Structure 1
Amino acid sequence: MRDYLCEDTIAAIGTPIGRGAIGIVRISGKDSLRILQEMFRTKSGERKEHFDSRKMYYGVVVDSSGEPIDEVLTVYMRAPKTFTGEDIVEIHSHGGIVVVRKILREVLRRGARLAEPGEFTMRAFIHGKIDLVQAEAINELINATSEVSAKVALKHLEGELSKKIKLLRDKLLEAKAYIEAAVDFPEEEVEIIESGEVKRRIQEVLNGIEKLLSTYRDGRIIKEGIKVAIVGRPNVGKSSLLNAILQEERAIVTEVPGTTRDIIEETVTLEGVPIRLIDTAGIRESSDVVERIGIERSLRSIERADVILFVIDGSCGFTEEDLKVSEMLRGKENVILVLNKKDLGLKVKCGEVSDWRCVEISAKSGEGIKELATEIVNMVLLDPETVLKGDDVLITSERHRELLEKARDSLIKVVNSIEAGFESPEFLSMDIDAALNALGEIVGQVTTEDMLDIIFSRFCIGK
């Protein structure tokens, strides 16, 4: 059960578990300084009662019997000018699981409790140090898989998205005030419908919401990566292509058809975008039970993929088996035809075989791999040049998308009511309030404990 009143003092290991040069134990709450005073000793073995805020001290930490645990550097940060808004202590010891865990156990023995996932960040939110978008951005930054996704998360953390949401809410509040003026001051003859002022203001907010929503597809791709399925008949070089893109021998490559019997999934960054590559079993009719299972999984991967790389052996042209795979992919617009084995000479050329996008490559020599990567990114991103710079604010969260759509739908009702001549200010205000609440939920101005539990449970412990 989370402590939403922040009455407990919490502690956790703030560095990855395992061997390392430094390990950090973080403490936050009203007992942080007391715990440090009880555990810390100067190099000469004396207790220290006074700690200046934000000053690093060198000494040792001891257990309850006074035995040294490790030499440390420690810092005390006085509230409220801290990350969580509470007193914070950090103990920097030598890395290594034994030492760091022993220090944490001693901190817990002296009255702190183990922090839950994301609880430090949650306390920063509760104490008004960051809003909910910024809190989520911290987790996105930690889990960023590419330079572009890190840039997008950093923009959220710096408050760029929050500013846009606040601007939309402010405009809605102005529109609502205009409606309420018609109710409160009828003698002034404020005409809601005829003046069109409310409709104009609402439409302006709707345009802003639509603009943000239009970034979600690119934002999701930047955050989660592009799912790319490599498909084709056996022995056309699918596994060689996977290895060429990864620049390592990940998949077994032989002359024997059907070597790959299960899907192999790897992640790589191409053109600054995370790509989830799926090397599938060669698609053909087979009597082998294991191979058939692999082929069935290949077919499922095709349906889930953002991009399908249809690989053929360009040195021998289309075969009957290639044509069967082609029929399976008919009507799909997310296919890139890959003519492999260019080093052996191609019997077919791009532009001669289909209306799909097409790239000529040699998985063996690496020729054409960069062009293929560019083609993959350009197929999926709506505005590759702008997105890859990482300068724009993008919607990356499904939660944000749903709430923006909820706000949009409420405002569309307002516009429709005005256009239909439905002049009840009370009902118009209700729909505007629904939009305000939806936008408020994005930044955390409107929250529930259940919603906070869901969001912060995705964090690691210690953050």
Structure 2
Amino acid sequence: MSETIAALITPGGRSAIATIVVAGPKAGSAVDRHFFPLGKKQASTCQIGDILVGHWRDSAEDAGEELVVSRTAADRIEVHCHGGIAAFRRILNHLVAAGCREIAWSDYAHQSESSPIAAAARIALADARTSRTAGYLLDQYNGALEAELTAILGLLDAQQTSDAQLRLQSLLATANFGMHLTKPWKVVIAGRPNVGKSSLINALVGYERAIVFDQPGTTRDAVTAAAAFDGWPVELADTAGLRESDDAIEREGVARARKLQSAADLILLALDQSAPWTDEDQQLLAAYPNAIVIHNKSDLPADESSQRPAGLKVSAQRGDGIEQLNTMIGHTLVPTPPLHGTPLLFTGEQVAAVQQAAAQRPDAAIQTLRTLLA
């Protein structure tokens, strides 16, 4: 690295500690300009692994901020300061004035990692919402995808095109799961007005996210909440009740609901088990054949219509069946989770490159995959 860079590698905002990396040939001298250690050893002369406590000052007369500095490589020093924006911004400004170039942490990841895939996995890990999805991304960071792509390149080089094509297709089959490791699955609650959709979303997320009111048609726009089911991150949406209406606002709400439902990974079809079965219920059942059917309000006397389909009985008010519904959602989204260590495509760039390679002649495919790995 010919230049010296400075990068904030912890999330910005209010936090206890922020970490700034200073890397390059002038890292030590740049830090020395404003870091005054409590001992005799300065940042530029400390050894790898040394931890120094001192103050970051504008000048020797300034009281400054107490912080910790550590050398983590021959050309890299970490500054650990207060996590407030003003604190780390002041230090970064001083480092830029000392000759460093400030870069985004994602750019630093690409500079410091051994391969583009490791860098992409490191960046994706910051967006993982659950420990379960983070585990799969950690597998990719540790080389699962890179090893598979390297093996496919070996097959192409050896002119074993059929075997290479099979493995490319197997990789592409992981794309939907892999992309959801950083982007939550979208689960939408559908149903007629006043079947308890708002109460249901509140019960599923464990707090009052949606407004509950006994007037049909109250929900006019989608209400979303972040949740996790069986370790899979989900964006749960409560939408307008599906019915015909003369109210222009309600019609717009229904139109938005249908748009959300068409893009959903899973539909929860909520039905009122205490109300008579209707033609509208039957039409919704036909419109969403792959939905999880939920008979809500199981705490009320049940309508025993013979037309009522099988489904999970729940009470959003009392909590009956909610735990079972949580499990069912997770298992429906991911029926068979991949084994840990499985290579996965987890970015749009990777999916596009592997799709391109699968459609190319062997010599062009080799070049495409090498570019992805370079």
Whether these two folds match at TM > 0.5 is: yes
Q: How many positions carry a matched residue from both structures?
A: 374
Give the direction of change, closer, same or farther, for the CA distance of 1:390–1:267 in structure 2 (3 Å limit). Answer: farther
SS at 1:223 equivalent = coil
Match of 1:456 in 2: none
Equivalence map 1:19-30=2 (5 Å): 19-30=14-25
**Percent identity of the aligned residues?**
30
Deviations 1:252-297 (A, max 9, x none): 1121111211111112000111111110011122222222221111
Aligned-residue offset at 1:47:
6.2
Among 281, 288, 310, the alignment partner of 1:322 is 281
Q: Does 1:358 align with 2:342?
A: no
Q: CA deviation at 1:248?
A: 0.5
Q: What's the offset of the Cα at 1:141?
A: 0.7
Counterpart in the other structure of 2:126 = 142
Amino acid across the alignment from 1:116: A
2:347 aligns with 397
CA distance in 2, matches of 1:400, 1:24: 30
2: CA distance between counterparts of 1:146 and 1:284?
36
For 1:308 and 1:228, the matched residues in 2 are separated by 6
Question: If the length of structure 2 is used for normalisation, what is the TM-score?
Answer: 0.92
Q: What is the deviation of 1:135?
A: 0.7
2 CA distance for matches of 1:409 and 1:174? 18
Higher relative contact order (CA 8 A, sep 6+): 1
2:179 maps to what in 1?
A: 220
**Normalising by structure 1, what TM-score?**
0.75
RMSD over equivalenced CA pairs, Å? 2.4
Equivalent in 45, 58, 65 of residue 50 of structure 1: 45
Give 1:162 deviation, angstroms.
0.5
Alpha-carbon distance between aligned partners in 2 of 1:88 and 1:9, rounded to the nearest angstrom: 9
User: What CA distance in whole angstroms lies between the structure 1 residues aligned with 2:204 and 2:332?
Assistant: 17
Q: Partners of 1:375 and 1:48 in 2: how far apart?
A: 55
1:62 to 37, 57, 63: 57
What SS does the corresponding residue of 1:342 show, helix, strand or coil?
Answer: coil
Shift in alpha-carbon separation, 1:342–1:335, aligned structure 2, 3 A: same
Structure 2 unmatched runs, 5+ = none
Q: Is 1:207 aligned to residue 200 of structure 2?
A: no
Report the counterpart of residue 110 of structure 1 in structure 2: 98
Q: Deviations over 1:17-70 (max 9, x none)?
A: 333332222212221111122222232799675211221111222215652421
Residue 393 of structure 1, CA deviation? 2.7
Residue type of the partner of 1:92?
Answer: H
What's 1:156 paired with? 140
Kindly report which structure 2 residues correspond to 1:23-38, keeping only aligned pairs within 5 A, or say none: 23-38=18-33
Quick check: 1:73 aligned with 2:68? yes
Matched, 1:386 2:337: yes
Gaps of 5+ in 1: 1-5, 80-86, 176-200, 411-430, 446-463
2:368 corresponds in structure 1 to 438
Counterpart in 2 of 1:426?
none
> For residues 251 and 72 of structure 1, what CA distance do their matches in structure 2 show?
44
Q: Is the 8 A contact 2:43 2:71 kept in 1?
A: no
Q: Following the alignment from structure 2 to structure 1, what is the Cα–Cα distance between the partners of residues 63 and 129?
A: 40
What residue identity is the alignment partner of 2:292? I
Please name the residue that 1:130 is paired with. 114
Find the partner of 1:407 among 347, 357, 360.
357
| Bigger Rg over Cα | 1
1:117, 1:263 → 2: CA distance? 34
8 A Cα contact 1:334 1:379, kept in partner: no
**Partner Cα distance (2:41, 2:324) in 1:** 66
1:298–1:348 Cα change, 3 Å: farther
